[in-house]
Amino acid sequence: MIPSLISGLPLFPERASTMASRVDALYFFLIGVSAFFAVLIATLIVVFAIRYRRREGYVQEPAPEGALALEVTWTAIPLGLVMVMFVWGASIFVAMQRPPDDALQAFVVGRRWMWKVQHVDGRREIDQIHVPVGRSVKLTMTSEDVIHSFFVPAFRVKQDAVPGRYTTLWFQATKPGTYHLFCAEYCGTQHSRMIGQVIALEPADYAAWLAGSSGAQSMAQAGGATFEQLGCASCHRDDSQARGPALAGLAGRPVQLQGGTVVVADDAYLRESILNPQAKIVAGYQPIMPTFQGLVSEEGLLQLIAYIKSLQAKVN
């Protein structure tokens, strides 16, 4: 019975993203180093314990207090090794933080206890997300209540979804299949049931999935409707009557603020400018915009941002 159990026992998770093999390579390196030192220490202890076990007529030698050369050696070697680990781990992490520019976009809102996903074309999913193999996907995430964490073990990626701000995560699936999606940040009663699936499809299958049962408003369209409904266009317009900055082509570009600082109009900036307009005033404009805190839902915000980004597409 035991052997059959062991043979069916997985030791490593499936490797289904470009990041997975990079993380695993470092993992195996660390296992190698750890095993070497663990075995070394264990062997020394056992050998010493047997070799020097209570001897008759033992007299303590006037042993040195220590040996500087030895101390320096066993300080320097681990130090060198951990610095290799640091640089290696940091390079992986930096890559995890840099989504490729051509990544597909999708938006994720965590809520106790479900994952709400919306694709750029407006398609919504709950507790599952379809992605194409071989194409980078960038998720922009937030939460409606408490902190959640989007975790796909097969991709070796994880990122908290934090209420009140955006975080991002990207991956590129390498193998078609259905993979676990876990909430990894404790969020209450059904935390362990806040799970789902990441379904990676071959490009052709993904295209077929996209083609099926569409017809929903795209995110940008929905955002445009909200934009009209809230009367944003009365100030953010292209003519001389504009009391707010023009939005076309804004997303992703640097913005000059009062006081001379320059920020990049990323998602976080756009979100802040809607919810807390006084925080960053664009040079040449008055701080007259009211807050829209409480008037727009988290999904509505994501749609508004998608709309602002689509304005950029028109200009280009």
Partner 1 sequence: MPETSTTAGAGTVARPGSPGARAHAVAHQFEDAEQQYEAANLGMWVFLVTEVLFFGGMFTVYVVYRSMFPAAFAAGSHELDFVLGTVNTAVLITSSLTMALAVHAARAGGRGAQVAWLAATMALGAVFLGIKLTEYAHKFAEHLVPGPSFRFAGPDAPQAELFFSLYFVLTGFHAVHMVIGLGLLGVLTTLAWRGRFGPSYFTPVEVSGLYWHFVDLIWIFLYPLLYLIDRHH
Partner 2 sequence: MHTSHPTISTTTYFVIFVLLLCLTGLTAGVAQIDLGRLNTPAALAIAATKAMLVVTYFMHLRYGSALTRIAAATAIVFLAILIGVTMEDVVNRRTGVYLKGITPTQSIGAWMDVGQEPAAPLPR
Partner 3 sequence: MEAARPAVHYLNADYGVRSWLFTRDHKRIGLLYLASITAMFALGGMAALLVRLDLLTPAGDLVSDDTYNKLFTMHGIIMVFFFLVPSIPAVLGNFLVPLMIGARDLAFPTLNLLSWYIFNLGALVTLWAVLTGGVDTGWTFYVPFSTAASNTNVVAAALGIFISGFSSILTGLNFIVTIHRMRAPGMSWLKMPLFIWSIYATSFIFILGTPVIAITLALVGIERLFHIGIFDPALGGDPILFQHLFWFYSHPAVYIMILPSMGVVSEIIPCFSRNRIFGYSFIAVSSLAIAMLGFLVWGHHMFVSGQSVNAGLIFSFLSFAVAIPSAIKVFNWTATLYRGSIWLQAPMLYALGFIGLFTIGGLTGLFLASIGIDVHVTDTYFVVAHFHYIMVGGAVMGYLGGIHYWWPKISGKTYPEGWAKIAALIVFIGFNLTFFPQFVLGYLGMPRRYHVYPPEFQVLNVMSTAGASILGIGYLLPILYLVWSMRYGQAASENPWHATGLEWQTPSPPPTENFSETPIVVDGPYMYRELDAEEVKRVA
The residue among 84 and 264 lying less far from partner 2, judged by its C-beta, is 264
Q: Which residues, 142 to 171, sit near partner 2 by CB under 8 A?
A: 166
Other C-beta atoms closer than 10 Å to the C-beta of 218 total: 19
3-class secondary structure, 93: helix
Q: Which residues, 134 to 153, sit near partner 3 by CB under 8 A?
A: 145-147, 149, 151, 153
Using CB under 8 A as the binding rule, whether residue 96 contacts partner 3 is answered as yes
Half-sphere exposure of 134 (CA within 13 A, CB side): 6
Using CB under 8 A as the binding rule, whether residue 24 contacts partner 2 is answered as no
188: left (phi over 0), alpha (psi -120 to 50) or beta: left
d(CA 85, CA 152): 23
Shortest Cβ 67–partner 2 spacing (Å): 32
Query: Which amino acid type is present at position 195?
Result: I
Determine which residue in the list 32, 82, 128, 253 makes contact with partner 3, applying CB under 8 A.
Answer: 82
Query: Which amino acid type is present at position 170?
Result: W
The residue among 150 and 269 lying less far from partner 2, judged by its C-beta, is 269
Among 36-44, 131-139, 201-209, 217-225, which window interacts with partner 3 (CB under 8 A)? 36-44
> Which residue(s) pair with 254 in the sheet?
264
- Look up tokens 């941002």; give the residue: 305
d(CA 253, CA 311): 13
Using CB under 8 A as the binding rule, whether residue 267 contacts partner 2 is answered as yes
Using CB under 8 A as the binding rule, whether residue 291 contacts partner 1 is answered as yes
Shortest Cβ 195–partner 3 spacing (Å): 8
Q: Which of partner 3, partner 1, partner 2, none does residue 267 bind (CB under 5 to 8 Å by kind)?
A: partner 2
Q: What angle do CA 66, 71, 77 make, to 5 degrees?
A: 160
Rg (C-alpha) for the chain, rounded Å, is 27
> What backbone torsions phi and psi does residue 22 show, to the nearest 5 degrees?
-65, -45
Q: Which residues, 203 to 262, sit near partner 2 by CB under 8 A?
A: 257-259, 261-262
Using CB under 8 A as the binding rule, whether residue 286 contacts partner 2 is answered as yes
Q: Which of partner 2, partner 3, partner 1, none does residue 277 bind (CB under 5 to 8 Å by kind)?
A: partner 1
Q: How far is CA 314 from CA 8, 50, 305, in A?
A: 55, 79, 15
Per-residue binder mask for partner 1 (CB under 8 A), 21-60, x = binder: ---------------------------------xxxxxxx
- Walk across the sheet containing 196-201 and list its strands: 128-132, 196-201, 177-183, 148-152, 157-161
Determine which residue in the list 1, 3, 61, 284 makes contact with partner 3, applying CB under 8 A.
Answer: 61
Residues in the chain: 316
Using CB under 8 A as the binding rule, whether residue 295 contacts partner 3 is answered as no
Q: Which two tokens stand for residue 236?
A: 């953010």
> What backbone torsions phi and psi does residue 231 show, to the nearest 5 degrees?
75, 25
Among 19-27, 30-38, 121-129, 278-286, which window interacts with partner 2 (CB under 8 A)? 278-286
d(CA 139, CA 104): 8
Q: Which residues, 177 to 216, sit near partner 1 by CB under 8 A?
A: none
Using CB under 8 A as the binding rule, whether residue 286 contacts partner 1 is answered as no
The residue among 236 and 309 lying less far from partner 1, judged by its C-beta, is 236
Enumerate binding residues for partner 1 (CB under 8 A).
54-60, 276-279, 287, 290-291, 293
Enumerate binding residues for partner 2 (CB under 8 A).
94, 97-98, 166, 257-259, 261-264, 266-269, 278, 281, 286-288
